[in-house]
C-alpha cells in the first residue's frame, strides 16, 4: 500500500503529485472510499463545485479513495491510497484503513510526504527514508526515525501499521521553502525515484523530468529578479555541496547506476 495525503504532509503537492503519477501509469480501479462525513470538517476542507461543458453542476466532497492497481510486470500488486488529511477521529480513520489493508493482505505500507526545508532548488531534492521501529529500519536498511514533536496523519498511520504487524516505511521530500507556492514536479520525481530504488523496480518517469526542468527554470527566473533570493540560493548551494560531497562520490552514484541497470534490463 502506497499512501499520501494532501494538506500538512504535502508541501508543494509533491507527495500527492507522485501518487497522481503512479495512477497515470497503470490501469486501476477504485475499490473503496472513506465516508467523508465521519472524518472531515467541511468548513476546513470545503466541497468543490464544478460545471461541465453541458453546464451541469456537480459537487465533489473531500475525502480519501483507495485504488487497486494490477501490475503483472512487478512481483506485487499495488494499493494506492490518496486523499486529504482528515480533520477528526484519526485513530478510527487509520484503523478502518488498516482493516482494509488486512483484508487485501497488504504486506507493506509506504507513506510519502513532503516538507519545507532550507534546500536549494538547483540541486537534487533530498529524500529521507525512515522506519518507525529499529527492526524495520534494519530489515530495509533505512534510518530509524528520531523525530519528536507534532505529527500528521502519516505518522499516525505508520505507527498504527507497525502495531498491526505491517512493515511501514516513510519517504519524505525536502522542498525549498522559497519555491513552494506551486506544485513541484521535481520533488514528485525525487519521490518516484526513491520509491523505485526502495522497491527495486522500474517506474516510468513519463513527463516528470521535463516538467522538473521547466519548474527549475521558473525558480531560476524568480531568483534572477530578486537579488536577496539569489544570494540566499547561492548560500544554500554552497552549504548543500559541502554537506553532500562525500555522498555524491559514493552512495548516490551507486544508486544512479543501479537505476540505470534496472531500466536497461526492463527495456
pLDDT value for 223: 87
Dig out the grid coordinates for 116 from the structure. Answer: 519545507
Tens-place pLDDT, residues 179-212: 887 799 999 999 999 999 999 888 999 999 999 9
Q: What is the DSSP string of 144-186?
A: EP---S---HHHHHHHHHHHTT-EEEEEEEEEEGGG-SS--HH
pLDDT value for 84: 94
Task: Categorize the per-residue pLDDT at 253 as very low, low, confident or very high, splitting at 50, 70 and 90.
Answer: low
Is the Cβ–Cβ distance between 85 and 6 less than 8 Å?
yes
Read off the pLDDT of each residue in 6-32 and give the average, rounded to a whole number: 94
Q: Which domain holds residue 92?
A: 2-266
pLDDT value for 138: 93
Asked whether the predicted pLDDT for residue 77 surpasses 60, the reply is yes
Angle at 184 between CA 70 and CA 53, to 5 degrees: 70
What CATH number is associated with residue 26? Answer: 3.40.50.10900
Asked whether the predicted pLDDT for residue 252 surpasses 80, the reply is no
Q: What is the number of structural domains in the chain? A: 1
Nearest of 217, 213, 209 to residue 189 by alpha carbon: 209
Asked whether the predicted pLDDT for residue 21 surpasses 80, the reply is yes
pLDDT value for 240: 85
Distance CA 237, CA 67 (A): 39
Tens-place pLDDT, residues 149-186: 989 999 999 999 999 999 999 999 999 999 887 799 99
Tens-place pLDDT, residues 117-131: 999 998 999 999 999
pLDDT > 70: what percent of the chain? Answer: 91
Amino acid at each position: 500500500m502506497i499512501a499520501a495525503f494532501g494538506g500538512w504532509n504535502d508541501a508543494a503537492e509533491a507527495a500527492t503529485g507522485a501518487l497522481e503519477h503512479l495512477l497515470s501509469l497503470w490501469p486501476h480501479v477504485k475499490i473503496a472510499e472513506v465516508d467523508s462525513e465521519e472524518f472531515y470538517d467541511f468548513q476546513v476542507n470545503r466541497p468543490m463545485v464544478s460545471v461541465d461543458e453541458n453546464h451541469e453542476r456537480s459537487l465533489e466532497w473531500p475525502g480519501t479513495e483507495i485504488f487497486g492497481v494490477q501490475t503483472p510486470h512487478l512481483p506485487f500488486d499495488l494499493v494506492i491510497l490518496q486523499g486529504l488529511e482528515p480533520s477528526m477521529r484519526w485513530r478510527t480513520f487509520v484503523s478502518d484503513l488498516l482493516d482494509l489493508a488486512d483484508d487485501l493482505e497488504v504486506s507493506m505500507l509506504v507513506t510519502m510526504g513532503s516538507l519545507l526545508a532550507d534546500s536549494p532548488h538547483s540541486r537534487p531534492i533530498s529524500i529521507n527514508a525512515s522506519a518507525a521501529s529499529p527492526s524495520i529500519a534494519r530489515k530495509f536498511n533505512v534510518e530509524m526515525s528520531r523525530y519528536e514533536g507534532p505529527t500528521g496523519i502519516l505518522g499516525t498511520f505508520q505507527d498504527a501499521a507497525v502495531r498491526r504487524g505491517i512493515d511501514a516505511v516513510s519517504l519524505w521530500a525536502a522542498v525549498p521553502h522559497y519555491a513552494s507556492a506551486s506544485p513541484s514536479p521535481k520533488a514528485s520525481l525525487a519521490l518516484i525515484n526513491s520509491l523505485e530504488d526502495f522497491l527495486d523496480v522500474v517506474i516510468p518517469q513519463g513527463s516528470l523530468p521535463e516538467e522538473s526542468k521547466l519548474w527549475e527554470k521558473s525558480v531560476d527566473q524568480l531568483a534572477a529578479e530578486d537579488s536577496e533570493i539569489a544570494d540566499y540560493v547561492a548560500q544554500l548551494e554552497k552549504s548543500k555541496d559541502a554537506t553532500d560531497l562525500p555522498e555524491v562520490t559514493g552512495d548516490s552514484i551507486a544508486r544512479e547506476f543501479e537505476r540505470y541497470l534496472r531500466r536497461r534490463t526492463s527495456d
